Structure 1
């Protein structure tokens, strides 16, 4: 379980959110949704100590995150990556094994087999020698999911993993995410497509410069909460569609 307590993050002395508390359960896929600029990626970067925070603590099973950071795999937004970097697909996935190697050790046959297996799981063995800048959006995202597989982490955080990728890649990645969930891992997904909330997530955090709601999807994904976080117009459109989807499932 991952707990965030009293987290405050600010840019240029302007808080994105203040005194934020939220818990992410193990064995659950938790979606984070909210309008543009609501602080979704900031929340992820704040909990991972990738940006400074004014206050707050992050605990994993009661331990400070710095002590157990090797338990976390992070798949960042594709737009944040340098695709010109001269590294091939296999070597990207192999970096996922580095966290469990001792100081000054290099990956051996065991680590390479882990990387091969991870690539096989995402159907990219044939692309192992390709430079990452020469991949489609869906292929690239599957590479970084394979790296997360190779990390063998207990907590996996994905920031907008489905932006700009094909439907097949999205389905393949979602199947892996659900497999991780069934293994008891803690999965956190920053997401933008509100029509897929019921299909993809067990729990939900609705964010807009603070927590609007958090808990199970059934409890939190309501017209009132969507109206508060987004708008009344979007809420009306979504819940006409959502009721149809729900009645058909």
Structure 2
């Protein structure tokens, strides 16, 4: 199986304190991979490093993908801006028409189709600040559909949403997999990971294990991850590793 991403001795630090420490792993292409681990394990930081958004990255990230779509945690999104569901979804095509261009007919058609695909027909003109958490997450998934990315990064996509919404959004993720897109998701529900995600990275700032989910989420590995997280020295300094990002 080919790799969409290869992490080589990756370290990410904040104020010289490592949040991700010497991680080497491969993320297979055209597959669904979960990133799991205890609180503070560096899961979200790892996603941001893959996007180039982390402040201090050392080691190498080797990538074969051309287009990346990213779903942040909802807590990071300001919903007070007066914008409709339809216009929020249409922002998925921002890279095509930018701030001064106009959406084409195909963009408008695709935005409508994406809204229907996530079960929000009739919500097009609703302001996003009137939506429930689950409804807004559907909007964000619809926006991802318009981005047509090779790699989709999801940070806690099912946090605080109801089971029906989870099932509906999982159908979207399975659709991406069928289209040979690579999906990487930070998740907390290990039963969900075991059921739906063939590959897993288990983190405790350092990598505990990576590979087939059934092996990675063994009792021994989960105990090891917990012990590593509890024993981590918050004052440990980051190692000096030359930075190199390659595509």
Aligned to 2:221, the other structure's residue is in SS state helix
Q: How big is the shift at 1:157?
A: 0.7
* Equivalent residue, structure 2, for 1:122: 118
Q: 1:172 aligns with which of 140, 143, 168?
A: 168
| Deviation per residue, 1:102-147 (Å, 9 max, x gap) | 7853211111111111111001121111111111111111100000
- Larger RCO (CA within 8 A; separation ≥ 6): 2
Matched, 1:153 2:156: no
Mapped pair 1:187 → 2:190: no
Give the Cα–Cα distance (whole angstroms) in 1 for the partners of residues 114 and 51 of structure 2.
24
Q: How many pairs are equivalent?
A: 225
In the TM superposition, residue 206 of structure 1 has moved relative to its aligned partner by 0.2
Match of 2:56 among 53, 56, 65: 53
Q: CA RMSD in A?
A: 1.7
Identify, as 1 or 2, the structure richer in helix: 1
What TM-score does the superposition give when structure 1 sets the normalisation length? 0.86
Consecutive unaligned residues of structure 2, counting only runs of 5 or more, are: 228-247
Aligned to 1:33: 36
C-alpha displacement of 1:23: 1.7
The answer on whether the counterparts of 1:7 and 1:53 sit within 8 Å (CA) in structure 2 is no
What SS does structure 2 have at the residue aligned with 1:126?
coil
Match of 2:225 in 1: 229
Partner Cα distance (1:228, 1:13) in 2: 25
Deviations 1:19-43 (A, max 9, x none): 3222211221100000111100011
Q: Specify the alignment match of 2:236 in structure 1.
A: none
Distance 2:190 2:222 in 1: 10
The answer for the alignment partner of 1:99 in structure 2 is 95
* Deviant stretches of 4+, over 3 Å: 100-104
For 1:77 and 1:185, locate their aligned partners in 2 and report how far apart those are by CA, in whole Å.
21
Aligned partner of 1:219 among 212, 215, 222: 215
Structure 2 CA distance for partners of 1:103 and 1:143, relative to 1, 3 Å: closer
Measure the CA separation in 2 of the matches of 1:206 and 1:229. 7
Shift of 1:4: 2.3
Residue 230 of structure 1: how far off its partner (Å): 2.3
CA contact 2:20–2:45 (8 Å) conserved in 1? no
State which drifts further: 95-104 or 1-10. 95-104
Residue equivalent to 1:241: none
